[in-house]
Amino acid sequence: MIDKLNARRMNMDITGSSRRQSYRFSPTSRMSNTFIDNGSSTPEEIIANTEKGLYAKHMGGGSVNPATGEFNFAVMEGYIIENGKIKEPVRGATLIGKGTEVLNKIDMVGNNLLQSQGMCGSVSGSIPANVGQPMIRVSELTVGGREGE
């Protein structure tokens, strides 16, 4: 996602990704339609093939550093997975990572793509963004939180 100004700075081609909420904001590179396409695994297969993990069923808010790709997002509804079975609920979990690294650690992609309208907030205001993905399995990801919450 590169706008005209950043294309010059990075010596790269423009992708036409400059957006802003209104004339009151300076335009900058922003997402518009971001999603992971369907894979071939069913959600049941992904769970059954996971020895130990966290099933993040419903995500909450978070933030991304656009310069580094580092992110953190709250898990609003999550469960422990053990030996291919969904177990006890988890509260207060946060997913922490770097976008490019996490994308390379996706090892299963579900066939249940869902898309929805969201909002992307940044220095150029809040703008609508179409987002979505099927269930994915990430082989390794940092999970933060506190025990007993």
Please state the rounded mean pLDDT for residues 125-142. 91
pLDDT digits (tens, 9 = 90+) for 28-62: 777 777 789 999 999 999 999 999 999 999 998 88
**What pTM was estimated for this model as a whole?**
0.77
Please state the rounded mean pLDDT for residues 57-86. 92
Segments making up each domain of the chain, as ranges: 31-144
Contacts of 16 (CB under 8 A, 6+ apart): 3
| Residue 18: CB atoms within 10 Å | 19
Q: Does the pLDDT value for residue 110 go beyond 50? A: yes
pLDDT band at 1 (very low <50, low <70, confident <90, very high): low
Report the Cα–Cα distance between both ends of the chain, in Å, rounded: 38
Give the range among 6-10, 19-23, 131-135 with minimum mean pLDDT: 6-10
**pLDDT over 90, % of the chain:** 55
Q: Does the pLDDT value for residue 149 go beyond 50? A: no
Say how far apart CA 7 and CA 16 lie, in whole Å: 10
